[in-house]
Amino acid sequence: HADLELAELPVTEDGPLAGREISQSPLPERGLTVIAIRHPDGSRQMPVGGTDRMTTGDSILVVGQQAAIQQFLAEPSSSNP
């Protein structure tokens, strides 16, 4: 059993997360669970649900296996057509 890790991921304009609901993003299928959304003004949304939308400038706190987090971070942000 791999250890779980907490990571903060940026939501960028050209990335695969901006404008998407959590449930419609590639995160759940990768085994990554969003536990909070940090907005540009410093406020946090916690808890979050599958219909919460991530917007450009947000940061999301995710928990998941280290390998899954590293793989997601390594993917080119242009993978979102």
The answer to whether residue 58 scores a pLDDT higher than 60 is yes
Q: Kindly report, residue by residue over 3-36, the tens digit of the pLDDT.
A: 899 999 999 999 999 999 999 999 999 999 999 9
Give CA separation, 38 vs 57, 58, 76, in Å.
Answer: 9, 6, 23
CATH number at residue 67: 3.30.70.1450
Q: E strands along 14-76, which residues?
A: 33-38, 44-45, 59-65
Is 65 a member of any domain? yes
State the residue range of the domain holding 27. 4-76
Other Cβ atoms closer than 10 A to 41: 6
Q: What is the pTM of this model?
A: 0.85
pLDDT of 65 over the 50 cut = yes
Task: Determine what percent of the chain is predicted with pLDDT higher than 70.
Answer: 91
User: Within a domain: residue 81?
Assistant: no
